[in-house]
Amino acid sequence: MKSRKILILLVFAAVVAAFYFLDLGKYLTLESLKANRGWLMDLRAAHAFLFAAVFVLIYVFQTAFSLPGRPSCLLPRERSSGSSRGRCFVVSGATGGAILAFLVSRTLLRDWVVKKFGERMGGIDRGCAKTASPTFSSCGWSGVPVLPGHLACGVTGLPLRTYALGTLIVSSRGAWSS
């Protein structure tokens, strides 16, 4: 079990280090996206499925690893014109990345946090269990956006199913309201 945690930690560190070492953030700035808009639109027209898949993967990794940049800027035309497809890409990437961050946090940090904070963590877990509902009533997901970030949610006793559904709803609400 310990070797699995070390491997996950090494992969996490390698992705973050590669992002900064290769200066990949410069490609996700609004200025860079505006400068390459024509090329990106041509690429999307020529390879729609591949373009969408890469966009969702970038969004998943950016969210999961809390990397700077805003990949949703890749689809400004589709989002502003009301495209359901573009919004689904945004929601898929945001939700997938949040779930990945939650799982990494739960795997790497949960045991340490419980050991470090002991009974205080037990109170937080009981609070999450009390508000988490399999029927997903408003009480079931109300605590999800209140906690500070995907990593914080992963160290609580909040069930993955409740977190995932809550994140999907919150992401969807944001994508459909913009």
pLDDT tens digits, 5-52 = 888 889 888 988 998 899 888 887 778 888 888 998 898 899 989 988
Instruction: Please classify residue 23 by burial: count the beta carbons closer than 10 Å to its beta carbon, then call 0-12 exposed, 13-18 middle and 19+ buried.
Output: exposed
Per-residue pLDDT, 77:
44
Q: pLDDT at residue 96 above 60?
A: yes
Query: What amino acid occupies position 149?
Result: G
Contacts of 7 (CB under 8 A, 6+ apart): none
Phi, psi angles (nearest 5°) of residue 57: -65, -40
Domain spans in the chain, listed from the N-terminal domain onward:
2-177
Q: Which of 38-47, 67-76, 112-121, 164-173 has the lowest mean pLDDT?
A: 67-76
pLDDT tens digits, one per residue of 134-175: 333 333 334 444 334 667 778 777 888 888 888 888 878 766
